[in-house]
Structure 1
Amino acid sequence: MSVHTRSEGQAGAGRQRNVAPPARWRRLAHWRLWRRRTLLVHLIGFALIVLVPALLFSAYLIVQFSQQQQEIAAAQVNDTADIISNAVDREIYGLLTSGRVLAASPTLVDDRLGQFHDRTAAALAGTFTTAELVDRNMNVLVDTQASFPSATERFGDEALVQKVLDTQQPSISGISFREKRGEFVYQVGLPIKYRAKVNYVLVLSKATTSFEAVIADRNLPSRWSAIIKDGAGKQVFAAVTSDGGTRARQISYDNPSIIEAIGNDGMGNDLIRASTVSNLSGWTTTVAVPSAVIGRPVMRSWLLLVGVGALLLAFSVALGITFGRRLADPILKLSQQAEKIGRGDPATMIATDIAEIAQVSKVLAQASRERREAEEQNRFLMREMSHRAKNQYALIAAIARRAANESADTTQFLATLSEALNSLARSADLLSSGGWHSVSMAELVKTQLQAFKSGNEQILHDGPAISLNATAAQTIGLALHELATNAAKYGALSCPDGHVAITWTCGEKLTLSWRESGGPSVTPPRHSGFGTLVTQKMTARGLGGSVDMDYAATGVVWVLTAPLDAVVPRQEAAEGGEAAKSGD
């Protein structure tokens, strides 16, 4: 039981070890994904990089616009307060001018008060202004609101009359309610002098509602308000603009505030205001506008920025997704194409209208074709090398068997085999430099006879340029080496005056000749040995041709005749055959 328990524990540990690496690889994959984001993420990030600075700059412009709007509004409010105050002063000054004209009437000089009453009433008709003539005892002698003579009564604003009497200068009262008129009025008192003495005070009264036209002429913007207070802080007139017009506002009479004039319209108490005090009347004109009104264009700009920014952001993301997919799909196909090349599968060019990706795909497709061709070439070379190696092994085995049969002892066998292998090695070196495809006849002759001082005056070779295939190169090279070895031992190369002439011609057949001269007298061998085997039988049988060996007394003559297609590479043999047919 204990053994079984340990086995389960070990199996569980093994399963944990098997599970741990995939989890670690998943974390690593997530980390790489975070570090190497997709093209879609990069494009969206690029769109945001382009868009965000523009939005920030727009926000900065809106902040600047908001500050400018506040400054412009403050300046406009201050200017409007001055303009309204000046307009009120002109209204009061006009009333003073009218009073001076009336006070200069000659009917007051000789106390023709009845005529003064009639003329003054006619002059003030339709102006919403009334006139009262008050004597020094505060009695009203003339009242244009009543017929003349009127019932004797005391003037209500004795302070105004007394001020005029004391200063002998025109004076402007504050606001008061005249029960006789049933409305709030302001009054102007003017002294009427006779012989440097003020006998009467002419008081002109006008309704405060007359200021409505004064303010309406200013064309205040919507939600602006204005309030005029006299020197005692009492409301002269209040108005607010809405719906494209200016209307009077009923507010507190004593100590009203501009907030009352604006009203509870949900705009808040944050105001932009300015006040101006008149030098003529001492009245204070206050103009105000809620900051929210000025902030409305700014708020609309912010809302517009947020809306446009959201639209641009959505557009940028959609654009990034659209172009990301447009770019990512061919890039993904490009990576799949590269993976196919890595696996050695055929990879054709992908179809895309993006020039750069198409060019890369074209290069990869070309690389895929070249790789397959190279692999095919390698496989061909490997097969060729295997074939050549087998032929080499067979040739070496044949040479070894012949050398063993022809050698008298082991030393001779080893020497013969060594010479043959050296010859084959030299031919193999030449063939390897040409990719085991071909070797020139001239190079083969020089290489095989280099050890016998090839190229000096004793050994001469001549013939047209011809390429030999691997089999012919090894066979002819071995024969040349054997001929040179025999010549060095017994023939023309064994004495300084001997010469060897190697010549070849090629037409339909290859003819290669070896001619010795100037050497010792030649006698035919009594029996054929390994040299005879190599130079005659193996060469003729290996190339499908014939060998003529002449042991002339003046020197050995060896002539090889072989079909051209047996000694040259296949392609050249085919071209030679076509040329021969065309010549026929």
Structure 2
Amino acid sequence: MALWRLWRRPTLLVHLIAFGLMVLVPALLFSAYLIVQFSQQQQEIAAAQVNDTAEIVSNAIDREIYGLLTSGRVLAASPTLVDGRLAQFHERTAAALAGTFTTAELVDRDMRVRVETQEGFPPSGERFADEALARNVLDTHQPAVSGVSFREKRGEFVYQVALPVRLEEGVGYVLVLSKATTSFEAVIADRNLPSRWSAIIKDTAGKRVFAAVTSDGRMRARQISYDNPSIIEAIGNAGMGTDLIEASTVSNLSGWTTTVAVPSAVIGRPVMRSWLLLVGVGALLLAFSVALGITFGRRLADPILKLSQQAGKIGRGDPATMISTDIAELAQVSKVLAQASRERREAEEQNRFLMREMSHRAKNQYALIAAIARRAANESADTTQFLATLSEALNSLARSADLLSSGGWHSVSMAELVATQLQAFNSGSHQIVHDGPALSLNATAAQTVGLALHELATNAAKYGALSTPDGKVAITWTCGENLTLSWRESGGPPVTKPRHSGFGTLVTQKMTARGLGGSVDMDYATTGIVWVLTAPLDAVVPQQESGESGIAGDGGD
């Protein structure tokens, strides 16, 4: 049972240890992911490097062969061959090739060797050993590169380049330059590569031309089988297995294949070291996390228990004092708990105040609507006119209420009030313009002025400036000790003063003046109605409200 309770509701100590593990395990998993990525990147880098190295080695071999072909072209163009002075050609060629570990043979069209720098002049006249190479040059008139072969006279493996010697009557000879394959060691010895990298070069027949393995940062020659050699032979038996990363490149010049390889185990060594390091460090961090969880769990458990006791006192309504702790967050929680009871009482009092305020607002609205209804009923000739008048007035009040609700029923901008009330009369067009300083109206002023503007606009749309396309209405206001708001119409039909006052006149003059404690001047000028409201500024700007609204009070008349 104890284990079941511990599983369902673990202690703080268990939570802290679990938290340490939750922080540590993702870090270890991420480290493992990085190692895996590192391993893949190492493999990709190694594969790219192996491929590049194969191309570099192949190009280095090609440069060596191309250099030999260049030397052969120079020798093949010697005037001594054109004049048939073979003895002099032998002498000059032997001198030119001295110290280069290269021998030259001049083969005629009958495959007889006419000049051989390895012997004296004249040679024995034996047939050339690689007749296929010489025939190819004679037939194609193009240089050719042979595969590798063992020359008993030289006692070593060599490769040959053969070039046509052009005389006046055509290709008369084939000049063959032979060079030991061991000369390639100096060509690729400067490749700076890690240990156990190997390279093997095969000719077109699959025979070993040259093989090398990296030792002490340099590629050194390695003797392996001549026929069908294997790259694994070049690497040697070093316990690396047969899993290799390798790449091959075929030379366009010689047709030889250069293969470079490295055991995968060489690349995997740093990855394995990383795994071992991760396991070791992970074990240490796990032990450290558990130790930290136990230490801090015991340190936190006691003040948290005291906090729970403090919360219990607050729930029962008992006074709760702050606990003593050196942990800032727990001390802050205790302080908050100590203030919770007082703040709850304050919140309850605030709720009661808000309910009273909402009740006060509702009463004001009901009184205002009742006053408007009575006025509309007194001024309406029939039920239809009464309903239309009341509906328009209520719509105007609703628009003002929407603006007030967005401001918490505290204030509304004069510019927003004008734009909202006149929106139904195309207030965005060129016919209606308004201008004035930034001014906020309280709830009573907003409802009173909004209703007056609506009535003025309704009258202008029916009979005044807004009834014609050329009519204009200018609304301006200024602020000083008093608010002065003016409505001026122009461009409409000629104006005549009405014979009797209706609901609109009552709203725009009497109700507005009384509601704001000011005065209204209504001028029925022939060019257009001019309506000017003057009211004390403190009666229209937001302030602490008390009592009923001015319009609602007027409703009792």
Q: TM-score, normalised by structure 2?
A: 0.54
Q: What whole-Å deviation, never above 9, does each CA across 1:203-234 have from its counterpart, x for those lacking one?
A: 10111111122222332333221111100000
Deviation at residue 100 of structure 1 after TM alignment: 0.6
Return the offset for 1:154: 2.6
Q: 1:337 to 1:181 in 2, by over 3 A?
A: same
- Which ranges of structure 1 fall in alignment gaps of 5 or more residues? 1-27, 339-347, 365-584
CA 1:356/1:89 → structure 2, altered by over 3 Å: closer, same or farther?
A: closer
In terms of mean alpha carbon deviation, does 113-122 or 302-311 score higher? Answer: 302-311
1:245 is aligned to 2:218? yes
| Aligned position for 1:96 | 69
Which of 95, 111, 130 does residue 157 from structure 1 map onto? 130
Matched, 1:47 2:20: yes
Give the residue type in structure 1 aligned to 2:37.
Answer: Q
> 1:390-539, aligned counterparts within 5 Å?
none
Give the equivalent residue in structure 2 for 1:255: 228
Alpha-carbon distance in 1 for matches of 2:25, 2:76: 75
Instruction: Report Cα offsets for 1:171-201 as digits up to 9, x if no partner.
Output: 1110000111111100011111212332221
1:300 corresponds in structure 2 to: 273
Please say if 1:285 is aligned against 2:258: yes
Instruction: Say whether 1:115 aligns with 2:51.
Output: no
1:353 to 304, 323, 326: 326
Aligned-pair CA distance for 1:333: 9.2
2:251 is equivalent to residue 274 of structure 1: no
**Alpha-carbon distance, 1:270 to partner:** 1.4
Say yes or no: does 1:309 pair with 2:312: no
2:521 is aligned to none
* CA displacement 1:14-61 (0-9 Å, x = unmatched): xxxxxxxxxxxxxx2332233333322211110111111122222222
Tell me how far apart the structure 2 counterparts of residues 287 and 363 of structure 1 sit (CA, whole Å).
73
Q: Does 1:326 align with 2:299?
A: yes
* Matched residue, 1:174: 147
Alpha-carbon distance, 1:356 to partner:
6.1
Note if contact 2:190-2:219 (Cα within 8 Å) is conserved in structure 1. no
Asked whether 1:190 is paired with 2:163, we answer yes
Distance 2:332 2:72 in 1: 100
User: Secondary structure in 2 aligned to 1:147?
Assistant: coil
Unaligned runs of 5+ in 2: 312-320, 338-557
Partner of 1:144: 117
Query: Which residue of 99, 110, 126 maps to 1:126?
Result: 99
Q: Say which is worse superposed, 85-94 or 350-359, in terms of deviation.
A: 350-359
What SS does the corresponding residue of 1:206 show, helix, strand or coil? strand
For 1:58, the equivalent position in structure 2 comes to 31
Of residues 199, 204, 210, the one that matches 2:172 is: 199
Q: 1:67 to 1:360 in 2, by over 3 A?
A: closer
Distance 1:313 1:252 in 2: 55
**Structure 1 residue 70: deviation in Å?**
2.0
**Secondary structure in structure 2 of the residue aligned to 1:220:** coil
> Is 1:227 the counterpart of 2:200 in the alignment?
yes
Distance change in 2, residues 1:306/1:30 (3 Å): closer
Report SS of the residue matched to 1:241.
strand
SS in 2 for 1:218: coil
Give distance in 2, aligned partners of 1:143 and 1:206.
13
Tell me the CA shift for residue 265 of structure 1.
1.4
Distance in 2 between the 1:311 and 1:297 partners?
Answer: 21
SS in structure 1 of the partner of residue 289 of structure 2:
helix
Q: Could you say if the C-alpha distance between residues 87 and 362 of structure 1 is closer, same or farther in structure 2, counting changes exceeding 3 Å?
A: closer
SS in 1 for 2:224: coil
1:397-424 Cα deviation digits (max 9, x unpaired): xxxxxxxxxxxxxxxxxxxxxxxxxxxx
Counterparts in 2 of 1:362 and 1:136: CA distance versus 1, 3 Å: closer
C-alpha displacement of 1:330: 6.1
Q: Distance in 1 between matches of 2:84 and 2:335?
A: 121
The structure showing larger relative contact order (alpha-carbon pairs under 8 Å, at least 6 residues apart) is 2
CA distance in 2, matches of 1:74, 1:261: 18
- Distance in 2, matches of 1:278 and 1:238, equals 16
Q: Residues of 2 paired with 1:360 and 1:48: CA distance?
A: 27
Q: Distance in 1 between matches of 2:155 and 2:147?
A: 17
Change (3 A) 1:192 1:304: same
Q: Look up the SS of the partner of 1:250 in the other structure.
A: coil
User: What residue identity is the alignment partner of 1:82?
Assistant: E
Q: Which deviations, in whole Å up to 9, do the C-alpha atoms of 1:456-500 show, x marking residues without a partner?
A: xxxxxxxxxxxxxxxxxxxxxxxxxxxxxxxxxxxxxxxxxxxxx
Aligned pairs, number: 330
Instruction: Describe the SS at the equivalent of 1:189.
Output: strand
Separation of aligned partners in 1, 2:336 and 2:210: 89
Q: Is the 8 A contact 2:190 2:218 kept in 1?
A: no
Question: Using the alignment, how far apart are the partners of 1:170 and 1:275 within structure 2?
Answer: 25
The Cα of 1:357 is off from its aligned counterpart by: 6.1
1:352 Cα deviation from its structure 2 partner:
5.6
Tell me the secondary structure at the aligned position of residue 198 of structure 1.
strand
In the alignment, is residue 32 of structure 1 matched against residue 10 of structure 2? no
Q: Distance in 2 between matches of 1:318 and 1:63?
A: 30
Q: Structure 1 residues 49 and 229 mapped into 2: Cα distance closer, same or farther (>3 Å)? A: same
Q: Which has the larger radius of gyration?
A: 1
Q: Which amino acid aligns with 1:34?
A: W
Q: Which residue of 2 aligns with 1:236?
A: 209
Q: Aligned Cα RMSD in Å?
A: 3.0
Deviation of the 1:350 alpha carbon: 9.4
**Shift in alpha-carbon separation, 1:46–1:99, aligned structure 2, 3 A:** same
**How many angstroms does 1:95 deviate by?**
0.5
Cα displacement (A) at 1:237: 0.7
1:97–1:358 Cα change, 3 Å: closer
